[in-house]
Amino acid sequence: MDDAGCVGAPDLIIEILSPGNNRKELANKYEVYEESGVKEYWIIHPIEQTILIYSLINGKFHPSRLFTSGDAVESNVIKGFQLNLESFFKDMD
């Protein structure tokens, strides 16, 4: 970080989808984040109560399985960061 903001790609981006998100916008972000070297990209769908994690391996994103309420997910790039999806989605209601 410097006075202008973040230098380089963040290690982790978490996006919570809203009804306004569209496929073209998500596809564009996916490509930009992958090309920029973002190590993990989490997409949370609050209505479906799911999360998909893309991990950068050898320059390409690889998707996780689809996690749902009741699962706990953990970041591979931020040690100790864990999200209990049941609690998370409950708090969003």
Q: Write out pLDDT tens, residues 70-92.
A: 999 999 999 999 999 999 998 77
Report the sign of the C-alpha dihedral through residues 76, 15, 63, 27, in that order.
negative
CB burial of residue 41 (10 Å; 0-12, 13-18, 19+) = buried
For the stretch 23-31, contacts whose Cβ atoms lie closer than 8 Å and that sit 24 or more positions apart, written own/partner, are 30/54, 30/61
User: pLDDT digits over 21-78, tens only?
Assistant: 888 888 999 999 999 999 999 999 999 999 999 999 999 999 999 999 999 999 999 9
Give all domains of the chain, ordered by start, each with its CATH number.
Answer: 12-92 (3.90.1570.10)
